[in-house]
């Protein structure tokens, strides 16, 4: 007997939407309003399905406003989030036992994207580790994520970055200088410190509190790196 895909709970989808709304809130400028330019800049820190969800969700928020194209406020985001949960998710769970594949197929893009992420839930740290693969898949691409000024790194991240920089100088060209990049995953912000040598690479992830939450390494050339572990 072949088992079908399990239902995805409304609560787990709502959690994903909460995290997407938080990402849009974090994108807001000093005035607390998130414009298309603010969100476009923030999207550079995201990858994969989460990036598509945040982009699509913001468009949903923007279209709810009578003045499409204007920025959205914290109040707008809160109202759109509640609307999305009710109309784009819960309304399709007619038997109230979670969203089945058939019910999900009838949902709009925001609901479907959120359900896809919820189906394979990852903690923010785990999601960030997966998202960081954009730097090495299909090849070493240091500009796949926006850069971070070394002066803005946490003390632990800066200490690691500076140690890697000294190592690169000592090796005289055999090791590339380290890079520091911004990454948003699971609604949380992370800093990536990475370095590639002629035949290997290392990647470290630091959370918003400056604590290292993941690290890994891999082998291969910049054009053909092996998946990091």
Model pLDDT, residue 73: 93
Instruction: Kindly list the structural domains of the chain, giving each domain's residue range(s) and its CATH number in brackets, ordered by start.
Output: 10-121 (1.10.238), 126-225 (no CATH)
pLDDT band at 64; cut points 50, 70, 90? confident
pLDDT band at 122; cut points 50, 70, 90? confident
Mean of per-residue pLDDT scores for the chain: 90
Crossing angle between the packed helical segments 74-83 and 10-27, to the nearest 10 degrees: 160
In terms of DSSP bridges, do strands 212-221 and 224-225 run parallel, antiparallel, or are they unpaired?
antiparallel
Model pLDDT, residue 67: 63
With a CB cutoff of 8 Å and minimum separation 6, the contacts of 9 are 98, 99, 118
pTM attached to this predicted model: 0.86
| pLDDT, tens digit, 9 for 90 and up, residues 28-37 | 988 889 999 9
CB 57 within 8 A of CB 21: yes
| pLDDT, tens digit, 9 for 90 and up, residues 65-81 | 656 567 899 999 999 99
């Amino acid at each position: 007997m072949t088992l079908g895909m399990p239902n995805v709970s409304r609560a787990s989808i709502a959690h994903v939407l909460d995290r997407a709304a938080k990402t849009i809130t974090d994108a807001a400028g000093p005035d607390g309003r998130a414009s298309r330019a603010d969100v476009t800049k923030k999207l550079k820190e995201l990858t994969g399905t989460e990036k598509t969800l945040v982009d699509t969700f913001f468009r949903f928020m923007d279209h709810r406003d009578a003045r499409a194209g204007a920025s959205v406020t914290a109040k707008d985001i809160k109202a759109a989030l509640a609307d999305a949960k009710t109309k784009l998710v819960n309304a399709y769970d007619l038997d109230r036992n979670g969203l089945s594949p058939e019910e999900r197929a009838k949902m709009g893009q925001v609901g479907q994207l959120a359900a896809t992420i919820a189906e394979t839930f990852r903690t923010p740290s785990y999601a960030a580790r997966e998202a960081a693969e954009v730097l090495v898949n299909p090849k070493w691409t240091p500009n796949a994520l926006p850069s971070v000024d070394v002066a803005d790194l946490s003390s632990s991240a800066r200490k690691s970055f500076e140690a890697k920089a000294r190592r690169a100088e000592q090796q005289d060209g055999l090791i590339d200088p380290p890079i520091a990049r911004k990454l948003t995953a699971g609604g949380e912000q992370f800093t990536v410190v990475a370095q590639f040598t002629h035949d290997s690479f290392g990647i470290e992830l630091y959370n918003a509190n400056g604590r290292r939450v993941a690290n890994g390494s891999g082998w291969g050339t910049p054009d053909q790196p092996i998946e990091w572990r």
